[in-house]
């Protein structure tokens, strides 16, 4: 069985996740079952274009999804990730996981206890352009 995934946050960076989730859906690696955002107009366009269910409320998908991809403002990550893990869902969250080591440790412990996958996005960190920009900024 392939995992049923919901995207939470379809804004600026969420669009990148949506594009990749749609590609993985097409390849049958996962089943993208929905998208959540506070912007109803954006959700309507996603629903029409991609034929997936949308909602302004992530709880609407709780019983339908195996995993959630969280791409919301960083201040909301801890609360959302904790909610999903407490409800035995796997979570992929865009960085940062949280704003404190205590919160991050709590979330990783919760994931381990519930035997759920918790993955923090890190791909851009290894982009060669980041290294070049760092050299330019630091003159090294």
pLDDT over 80 at 122, yes or no = no
Q: Quote the pLDDT of residue 13.
A: 87
Residue range of the domain that includes 103? 4-138
Q: Read off the pLDDT of each residue in 21-32 and give the average, rounded to a whole number.
A: 96
CATH number at residue 16: 3.40.50.720
Number of domains observed in the structure of the chain: 1
Q: Read off the pLDDT of each residue in 18-41 and give the average, rounded to a whole number.
A: 96
Residues of 106-136 as b/e, b for ≥16 C-beta within 10 angstroms?
bbeebbeeeebebebbeeeeeeeeeeeeeee
8, 68 in Cβ contact below 8 A? yes
What digits encode the pLDDT tens for the residues 30-41?
999 999 999 999
Q: Read off the pLDDT of each residue in 50-61 and give the average, rounded to a whole number.
A: 96
Q: Quote the pLDDT of residue 128.
A: 67
Predicted TM-score of the model (pTM) = 0.86
């Amino acid at each position: 069985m392939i995992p049923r995934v919901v995207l939470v946050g379809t804004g600026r960076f969420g669009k990148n996740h949506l594009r990749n989730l749609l590609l993985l859906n097409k390849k049958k690696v996962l089943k993208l079952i929905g998208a959540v955002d506070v912007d109803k107009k954006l959700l309507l366009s996603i629903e029409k274009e991609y034929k997936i269910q949308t909602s302004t409320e992530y709880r609407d998908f709780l019983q339908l999804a195996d995993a959630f991809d969280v791409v919301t403002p960083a201040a909301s990550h801890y609360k959302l990730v904790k909610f999903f893990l407490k409800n035995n869902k796997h979570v992929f969250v865009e960085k940062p996981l949280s704003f404190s080591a205590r919160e991050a440790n709590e979330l990783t412990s919760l994931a381990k206890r519930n035997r759920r996958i918790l993955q923090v996005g890190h791909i851009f960190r290894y982009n060669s352009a980041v290294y070049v920009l760092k050299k330019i900024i630091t003159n090294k």
